Amino acid sequence: MTEPINTQYLETLLGYNARRATLHIVGHFVHRMAEFELKPATFSALCLIGRNPGITSRQLCQTLNILPPNMVGFLKEFEHRGWITRAPSPFDGRATSLSLTAQGKKFIQRAEKAAQAADQHAAQALSPTEFKTLTRLLKKIHHTAAIASA
Amino acid sequence: MTEPINTQYLETLLGYNARRATLHIVGHFVHRMAEFELKPATFSALCLIGRNPGITSRQLCQTLNILPPNMVGFLKEFEHRGWITRAPSPFDGRATSLSLTAQGKKFIQRAEKAAQAADQHAAQALSPTEFKTLTRLLKKIHHTAAIASA
DNA sequence: TATTGTTATACTCTATAACTATA
DNA sequence: TATAGTTATAGAGTATAACAATA
């Protein structure tokens, strides 16, 4: 060990801090959600189906910024595990209407509790007020993208 | 188009917002830094070498949480482009001591300006105070990891 | 002609195993 | 015996091209 490494400049950058913090938070998430075999993308997709019964694959993709070919495997897995059902959309014969099964509802309910616990654990250095502030400012950032692409 | 998608629950989660915001910020970064052919990891590595002359590959890896095999290609590229020099470490015959060349210093100086501009552009929805608050809270989060692993 | 869901595939990023030379 | 740097390679995550069915 020689001298400590100077990281001061990098830590003035929003991008650097955002990337490092997200790696930390997602790391906790993946660790805690391992028992559910859910990762950020699959967890988010299941949550959205639960709160938006009848949502189509394309709507899921647009909302989560996932490309359609990469969603196919997720939905196949969800169906295979008995968490979702696919029905022809009543509005569009090309689309499929996604909903949670009773089993899927129970499962995601438990997973959502674990996700919140993972959040809290990853952000244990923050006060409740700081947690809320951080969440609000992050939301503000990624909502810029949604407005810009509308 | 049927009804709008409800994302309210997901947006209460720190992990979801952090991931989406970081994808937004890093997206801007990569776009703006394309002319320099630098991505987050290579940019950070060059910044650290610039501010820590004589740093070793291993120290770079530990500081940036990059695995040694994945650093090899970066350093090879930096050397090939004439941005860094490698010298045997005076402290340890196994290690190599990294420094920027005059050309590398000029290059990273321009790149750092562009990185700051990318940051500002990605966070244009935030006031200067909010920008500082967000940076501070993100730093607090990923510093937890550093302390926990010490 | 455009869009949904899909297959196949390529590319990038990250991770593991094993080697060499030095400590 | 342990560590620094390296090679080769495997695994995720993400991206593009092209197709059948429907609009």
**Percent of chain B whose predicted confidence (pLDDT) is above 90:** 93
pLDDT value of position B52? 98
Nearest nucleotide to B69, CA against C1' atoms: D6
Q: How many residues does chain B have?
A: 150
Q: Which residues touch strand C (CB under 7 A)?
A: A 56-58, 61, 68-69, 71-72, 75-76, 89, 92, 94-96; B 39, 41, 66-67, 69-70, 92-94
Alpha helices in B52-127 (DSSP H): 57-64, 68-80, 102-122
Interchain CB contact of A48 with B (< 8 Å): yes
Q: Quick one: what percent of chain A has pLDDT higher than 70? A: 95
* Arithmetic mean of pLDDT, B136-144: 96
Residue type, A131: F
- pLDDT value of residue B33: 98
Picking from A10, A24, A52, the nearest residue to B141 by CB comes out as: A24
CB contact under 8 A, B118 and A15: yes
User: Which residues of chain B have a CB within 8 Å of the CB of A26?
Assistant: 15, 18-19
Is the per-residue pLDDT at B73 higher than 90? yes
b or e along B62-83 (b: 16 or more beta carbons within 10 Å of the residue's beta carbon)?
Answer: ebbebeeeebeebbeebeeeeb
* Interface check B150 vs A, CB under 8 A: no
Query: What's the start-to-end Cα distance of chain B, in Å?
Result: 52
Q: What is the CA radius of gyration of chain A?
A: 19
Facing residues of A86 across strands? A98
Question: What phi, psi does A40 have (nearest 5°)?
Answer: -50, -50
Q: What is residue B46's predicted lDDT score, i.e. its pLDDT?
A: 98
Quick one: pLDDT band at residue B149, thresholds 50, 70, 90?
Answer: low
CA–C1' distance B89–D22 (Å)?
A: 67
> Nearest-CA neighbor of A100 among A134, A141, A51, A29?
A51
The neighbour count for residue B30, using CB atoms within 10 Å, is 15
- For chains A and B, CB pairs below 8 A equal 188
Using a CB-CB distance cutoff of 8 angstroms, which residues of chain A are in contact with residue B131? 14
Please, what is the average pLDDT of chain A?
95
**The pLDDT of residue B56 is above 50:** yes
> Cβ contacts (< 8 Å) between B2 and chain A: which residues?
54, 91
Classify strands B55-56 and A84-88 as parallel, antiparallel or unpaired: unpaired
Element (H, E) at B143: helix B128-148
pTM for the complete prediction? Answer: 0.95
Per-residue pLDDT tens for B88-112? Answer: 999 999 999 999 999 999 999 999 9
Distance CA A108, CA A34 (A): 14
Residue B144 has what pLDDT?
84
A5 vs B59: CB contact, 8 Å cut-off?
yes
**How far, in Å, is the CA of A94 from the C1' of nucleotide C2?**
12
Of B9, B26, B54, the CB nearest to A15: B26
Q: Do A26 and B19 make contact, defined as CB atoms within 8 angstroms?
A: yes
Q: Is B29 on the interface with A (CB under 8 A)?
A: yes
Q: Rounded distance, CA B113 to CA A13, Å?
A: 11
Q: How far apart are CA B75 and CA B89, in angstroms?
A: 16
